[in-house]
A and B are shown apart, each in its own frame.
Chain A
């Protein structure tokens, strides 16, 4: 009996030694644990939510379910768009459940609170759906990686070409909260830089159901373009109203942040012709279509929103980095992630910059009228591909302390 034990022990030791000799692998707790935090049942459930969880699981399966010979586990939680609930959950994840990395992350308020917890615990945040560019600028951290898009890339993608084409006078209908304000501020900067002016604006409370009053104000302002610095139901409602009151015939309406599910929620008669910027479109090429087809099977037939595709891409890149670095220690993995190009169905010409911004090509698209759509989900015509470096805020302008000092 003893002998057997001894043999077993030697074998085990030997195996362990060979393994460490070949891979130098070290995983903190013999597994890699990925947490997906998102709004699962509230207003933003469609733009990330359960779809993000599926996307991350799909990435793990595509990766083979194991990294460095150890299992990869996915856990998920609902933050209900509340920063306190989100930060408590994430604190529990890192302090108690040994979660190594957190992705999903939708509402900027939640992401702000959560990234603080993660940075304090030296864990990585893969931000897939938040809009604020703060996480790679003034609130940047060596542990943040911001995928998919941000407000600057949206403003550069949508606003810049319109101002340059001679639409100089702008009016804003802004959601009266941090994300709306940020979007308005960034877009205003882009407008002024390119010789345009802002002739007026209103700040509508979040969840306003009737926008007709604001649409009338926009009409009487004499603006060339009315920019909707809002999202979700607010965007849908304001655009519907703009079309109804004939605003769309007098001026261009630009949706600054339009997620695919919101575009689907609009009657094509209302939305056709609107230009917008997105980090991903499912029907771009064979690669995106192939991925989307597999994703749809797991997501109840729904096509992916950009954050969901982003969550897959970020997870995949993270796992590759763990494999290459031979460890799940956050600093080493982050260094590895920043040294490898990000090239997959989602990200074209992508790389993770020093400040944590994932710079990749953005798409400028136009919503198709019903007559041109082959299926209901055939939403956009791609007008232009914007190179990542033109779309996102340059590193030097971001003011991210740690990234600027490590030249």
Chain B
């Protein structure tokens, strides 16, 4: 076997690849948070709970409506997005002009409620969700066995991330969006319905969490706790990338997946903590994050 400095290189390649898989997943979740913060200045602490909701919705679609994974992949983000729109319209909008702190606390409360309700309804142990037939099995690479489903996670999340980035940064719609949040009065004057844009953006950001939930359902345990453990990590990623930077969130998500993967190899006990170490270092040297603009 190939060895370098006593490290098994094949093993290391494997770790890098699974790190990248996790990273693409983090990127998807971080993207939703970054859009919501960057464009709406809402710190959405319920993103994790909505991700959990997405996974449960996929399970429910299969269990109650016999809709398989592929239907869920399209329908669930829409359903979760609509749920998010309702949240925005009735709970978050009334405090839109208050300090950021309040949106953080409000969404944290919403997360607690969702998690508590699902624990009561479906128990805490989780529910089974099988990998779709089409994506079962895997490919044997020289250095590891790559399950097809994991490959699909990379492809799907990266495609969605790239598309979203393009839409916001390069299209006219994205320009309206950015302008609408930068200077709402002016945009109103131009006859553009800013509150509608805000609501739709929130719905879209939340829909991304729903999509991540569906992607996660077959590989992680579908359980009420799944969101709270990942939320704080994803949040750290957004901060490291520079709050509000769409591209920053995506790139940092990928990078952190790899950093975490390597930590899992060399010092697994610290794998949950390493991201916070990076966060401290970044914030102390580059206050606005790696890709954020200095205020």
Q: Which residues of A contact B (CB under 8 A)?
A: 41-47, 176, 202-205, 207-210, 212-214, 216-217, 219-220, 232-233, 236-237, 240-241, 244-246, 259, 261-262, 264-270, 302
Contacts and interface: CB of A to CB of B under 8 A. Distances in A.
Contact of B22 (A204, A210, A232, A237): A210
Interface string B203-229: 000000000000000011111011001
Contacts of A213: 15, 18-19, 261, 264-265, 268, 271
B125 A46 contact: yes
A236 B130 contact: no
B200 interface: no
A265 B150 CA distance: 21
Contact of B268 (A44, A46, A202, A268): A202
Given A46-B125, A233-B221, A237-B221, A41 B150 contact: no
B18 A216 contact: yes
Given A262-B125, A264-B128, 5 more contacts: A46-B125, A176-B269, A220-B10, A237-B220, A246-B145
A266 B229 CA distance: 20
Interface string B117-160: 00110011111111100000010000011010110000000000
A42 B124 contact: yes
B10 to A, nearest CB: 7
Contacts of B127: 265
Contacts of B225: 43, 207, 233
B40 interface: no
12 contacts: A47-B125, A202-B264, A203-B269, A210-B220, A212-B18, A219-B144, A220-B14, A233-B126, A233-B221, A237-B221, A244-B131, A245-B144
A265 B222 CA distance: 8
A362 B273 CA distance: 39
B49 to A, nearest CB: 15
B76 interface: no
B109 interface: no
Given A43-B124, A262-B125, A267-B128, A209 B230 contact: yes
Interface in B1-41: 8, 10-11, 14-15, 18-19, 21-22
A41 B125 contact: no
A46 B123 contact: yes
Most buried by B among A44, A47, A232: A232
Most buried by A among B8, B150, B219, B273: B219
B125 A236 contact: yes
B272 interface: yes
Interface in B188-204: none
Contacts of A245: 138, 144-145, 147
Contacts of A302: 123
Contacts of B124: 41-46, 232, 261
Nearest to A239: B221
Contacts of A209: 220, 226, 229-230
Contact of A266 (B120, B128, B220): B128
Given A205-B269, A246-B145, A214 B223 contact: no
Interface in B75-129: 116, 119-120, 123-129
B116 A41 contact: yes
A259 B265 contact: no
Contacts of B269: 176, 203, 205
A244 B145 CA distance: 9
B221 A214 contact: no
Contacts of B223: 233, 236, 265
Contacts of B150: 212, 244
B126 A265 contact: yes
A205 B145 contact: no
B16 to A, nearest CB: 10
Contacts of B15: 213, 216
Contacts of B10: 220
A319 B227 CA distance: 43
A297 to B, nearest CB: 17
A245 B226 CA distance: 21
B151 to A, nearest CB: 12
Contacts of B272: 205, 207-208
Contacts of B116: 41
A71 B265 CA distance: 59
B143 to A, nearest CB: 9
A42 B228 CA distance: 12
A44 B18 CA distance: 29
Nearest to B233: A209
Contacts of A241: 219
A336 to B, nearest CB: 36
Q: Which 7 A-B pairs have the closest CB atoms?
A: A261-B125, A213-B264, A265-B126, A267-B128, A212-B18, A236-B221, A205-B272
Contacts of A237: 220-221
A301 B39 CA distance: 47
